[in-house]
Structures are given as structure tokens and as C-alpha cells.
């Protein structure tokens, strides 16, 4: 599979502060790849280095096989010659231009023939569902429509890759969810490779083929969304991706399939699939991996119930620990009910 973006040992320092530390990853043809992490983790700085808006301190960047950045080889191709399209968090559409003028601006700047511009605009207006709005100004559009205009402008020059920096963060929750589907649909129809930067784990997990989780300037885990969700490499990734319960525990021995666990209040159970030595650890459990109302498991007491529509979330007390549990809406327990909780899956991390 052809490589669209290849980042090798990227380092970016601002004075004595290292914002990006030895980052390497590859984005393939027709792939939706996300850089995911908290604010200040280095993801936007990495994107700016790839775009050519920032010059890295060390490392190399290739786009579609072309070396575009290398401090060691004195290579720094300007952004306009990298074959990229960029969409920013704040849309960055010109308020004095109509939808069509905004989207066609890069082509007019390049002095492309009028027939080519008209054909491209017809295609993009249809692709982005903006037909009939071409003569409107940004102030007459919704946030989602303005974001589609920004996408259209970025797509107008047929870039080899698209770089998207938190493009949905200014939209309300419902519109953000709608735009996720639209972005995936646009990517599927165009076949373009997308590098997407976000701090929103739901966005990254919903849209990406692969995700690189960043922390403190480093890529700490890379893989398919389901792999990162189900098998996080460390406590940071486990905490950042999805909802997770963390409780102190002791591993008291090994079983044929896993280990024996003891919680602080004395509750004991077996955990399959893990293999660590005896000692004190942190046990990580997803809320959906705790089943209430079973004959097996540990005793618990329901503390709080929250109705969320398709699921009900409980807070239950097991010994000295409070854990979040999610069940389908057909299972009903009242605060104060005593039942059993079967922990069907979990991970142990060093204390």
C-alpha cells in the first residue's frame, strides 16, 4: 500500500522545551489516520511540521514519496508545494466571499481555466451538499455548512493528503456527530488520505482506520481503534480512551487461565487472560465489563442509578471501592439494592 505521509524521528524544540520527541508514523493511501491526545501533547505541532508551517528541529517528512522536510539535508518545501489541503478549527473562510468564491479561490489564484473551475465547483457543491448555497456568504450559513465550505476549498486543488486540525470542535454536539459521518463519507468518495488531529476520543475512534495516541510529545500507542480500546498499553492510554474504573488490588496467585485478584475490601475473583507476578497493582475495568445480577461474582451494593436512554449507568460499591457499571436499559436496580457483580474482563497495571 502506497505511503502518503511518512514521519521519521520527528523532533521539535522551542528553546529548551521539546514539544515533539522522536515521533514516527506512516499514513497510507485512502487511510483515515488520527493523532489523538490531550492539549499540549504535541499533536498540532506535529501537524504543523507536516504542513510546512513549522520547521522541525530533527527528523524527516515524506509526502507521497517526496522528501519535503529534513533539517539534516537542508530540505524545507513550502506548504503550497506539498500537495496538501488543510482545514482548521476556526473554518478560516473569508467573510466577504460567497461559498463559490471561497471554494474556488485556490484555483483562481493558480489562474486555472474558467471551464475547469466551473466543473470543479459543480462537483464539490454536489459532493458537499452545498448546491443552491453557492451565492451565500459565510454569515448566512450554519457552522456545519461553513465547515463544508472550508473542506471544499481544501479539496479544490485535488491534494494528495488532507490535514485536519480539530475541525469539529467549534460545532455543537449534534452537528459534530453529523459531521463525523459526512467526513467519513467524503473520504470514502474521494479516496483521499486524511491526517486528523483531535483531543476528542469519540471522534478519533468513530472515524479512524488507525489512531496514534500522543502524550508529552511522544506516540505512546498506535493501532486500530478497537485494539487501543481493548488492549491499552499503559494506564494513561486506558484512562484517556473510553471510560475506565481504576481500583487498587493485589494479585495473590495464578490460575490455569489467569490470576487471582483481591480488592481492598477483601472481595476475591479470578481474572482470565492476565499473567503477572504476585504483588500490588491497579486494576482497570470498563463499565460494560461488569455484569450485575449474576449468581457468580462478588457482592456489591447499588449506590446511584443514572438513566442514559439506551443504557443505564450505575455506581456500585464493592468493598471499599465505588465502580461505574453500564447495563442495557432492561436491567433495573434501585439504589440500596444488594446484588452480585461479575467482572468478566479487566487489565492490571503497575501501581
Averaged over 3-17, what is the pLDDT? 97
pLDDT for res 144: 84
Say if residue 231's pLDDT is above 90. Answer: yes
Q: Alpha-carbon distance 276 to 284, whole Å?
A: 14
What's 120-163 look like in SS3? HHHHHHHHCCCCCCCCCCHHHCCHHHHHHHHHHHHHCCCCCEEE
Q: Alpha-carbon distance 93 to 44, whole Å?
A: 20
Residue-wise pLDDT tens digits, 34-63: 999 999 999 999 999 999 999 999 999 999
Angle between helices 114-127 and 99-109 (to 10 degrees): 140
Averaged over 238-257, what is the pLDDT? 93
pLDDT for res 348: 94
Q: Average model confidence (pLDDT) for the chain?
A: 93
Parallel, antiparallel, or unpaired for β 290-292 and 258-263? unpaired
pLDDT for res 299: 93
* 3-state SS class at 196: strand
Averaged over 281-304, what is the pLDDT? 94
Averaged over 320-333, what is the pLDDT? 90
Averaged over 82-107, what is the pLDDT? 91
Residue-wise pLDDT tens digits, 153-198: 999 998 989 999 988 887 788 878 888 888 888 888 888 999 999 9
Residue-wise pLDDT tens digits, 136-147: 999 999 888 998
Look-up: residue for cell 486524511? 194
pLDDT for res 12: 98
Q: How confident is the model at residue 82 (pLDDT cuts 50, 70, 90)?
A: very high
Say if residue 273's pLDDT is above 80. Answer: no
Report domain extents, the chain: 3-239, 244-350
Say if residue 24's pLDDT is above 80. Answer: yes
Q: How confident is the model at residue 322 (pLDDT cuts 50, 70, 90)?
A: very high
Angle between helices 143-155 and 99-109 (to 10 degrees): 20
Specify whether domain 244-350 bears CATH 2.40.50.140.
Answer: yes
Fold for the domain defined by 3-239: Rossmann fold (3.40.50)
pLDDT for res 178: 83
pLDDT for res 67: 98
Percent of the chain exceeding pLDDT 70 equals 100
> What single-letter DSSP state applies at residue 345?
-
Q: Alpha-carbon distance 298 to 295, whole Å?
A: 9
Is 71 in contact with 42 (CB distance < 8 Å)? no
Say if residue 102's pLDDT is above 90. Answer: yes
What stretches of the chain show up as alpha helix (H) in DSSP?
A: 43-51, 99-109, 114-127, 143-155, 173-190, 201-207, 225-230, 235-240
Amino acid at each position: 500500500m502506497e505511503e502518503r505521509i511518512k514521519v521519521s524521528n520527528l523532533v521539535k524544540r522551542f528553546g529548551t522545551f521539546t514539544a515533539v520527541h522522536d515521533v514516527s508514523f506512516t499514513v497510507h493511501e485512502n487511510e483515515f489516520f488520527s493523532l489523538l491526545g490531550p492539549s499540549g501533547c504535541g499533536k498540532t505541532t506535529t501537524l504543523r511540521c507536516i504542513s510546512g508551517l513549522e520547521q522541525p528541529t530533527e527528523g524527516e517528512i515524506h509526502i507521497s514519496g517526496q522528501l519535503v522536510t529534513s533539517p539534516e539535508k537542508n530540505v524545507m518545501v513550502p506548504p503550497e508545494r506539498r500537495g496538501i489541503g488543510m482545514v482548521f478549527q476556526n473554518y478560516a473562510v473569508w467573510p466577504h466571499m460567497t461559498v463559490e468564491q471561497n471554494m474556488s479561490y485556490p484555483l483562481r489564484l493558480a489562474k486555472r481555466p474558467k471551464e475547469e473551475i466551473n466543473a470543479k465547483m459543480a462537483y464539490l457543491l454536489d459532493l458537499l451538499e452545498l448546491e443552491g448555497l453557492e451565492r451565500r456568504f459565510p454569515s448566512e450559513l450554519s457552522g456545519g455548512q461553513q465547515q463544508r465550505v472550508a473542506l471544499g476549498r481544501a479539496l479544490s486543488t485535488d491534494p494528495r493528503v488532507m490535514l485536519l486540525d480539530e475541525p469539529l470542535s467549534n460545532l455543537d454536539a449534534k452537528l459534530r456527530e453529523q459531521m463525523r459521518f459526512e467526513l467519513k463519507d467524503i473520504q470514502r468518495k474521494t479516496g483521499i488520505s486524511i491526517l486528523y488531529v483531535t483531543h476528542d476520543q469519540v471522534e478519533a475512534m468513530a472515524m479512524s482506520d488507525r489512531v496514534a495516541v500522543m502524550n508529552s510529545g511522544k506516540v505512546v500507542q498506535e493501532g486500530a481503534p478497537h485494539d487501543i480500546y481493548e488492549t491499552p498499553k499503559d494506564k494513561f492510554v486506558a484512562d484517556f480512551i473510553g471510560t475506565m474504573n481504576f481500583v487498587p488490588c493485589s494479585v495473590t496467585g495464578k490460575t490455569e487461565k489467569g490470576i487471582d485478584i483481591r480488592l481492598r475490601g477483601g472481595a476475591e475473583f479470578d481474572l482470565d487472560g492476565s499473567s503477572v507476578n504476585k504483588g500490588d497493582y491497579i486494576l482497570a475495568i470498563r463499565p460494560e465489563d461488569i455484569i450485575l445480577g449474576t449468581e457468580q461474582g462478588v457482592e456489591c451494593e447499588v449506590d446511584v442509578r443514572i438513566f442514559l436512554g439506551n443504557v443505564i449507568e450505575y455506581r456500585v460499591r464493592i468493598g471499599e471501592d465505588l465502580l461505574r457499571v453500564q447495563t442495557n436499559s432492561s436491567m433495573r436496580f434501585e439504589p440500596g439494592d444488594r446484588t452480585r457483580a461479575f467482572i468478566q474482563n479487566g487489565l492490571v497495571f503497575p501501581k
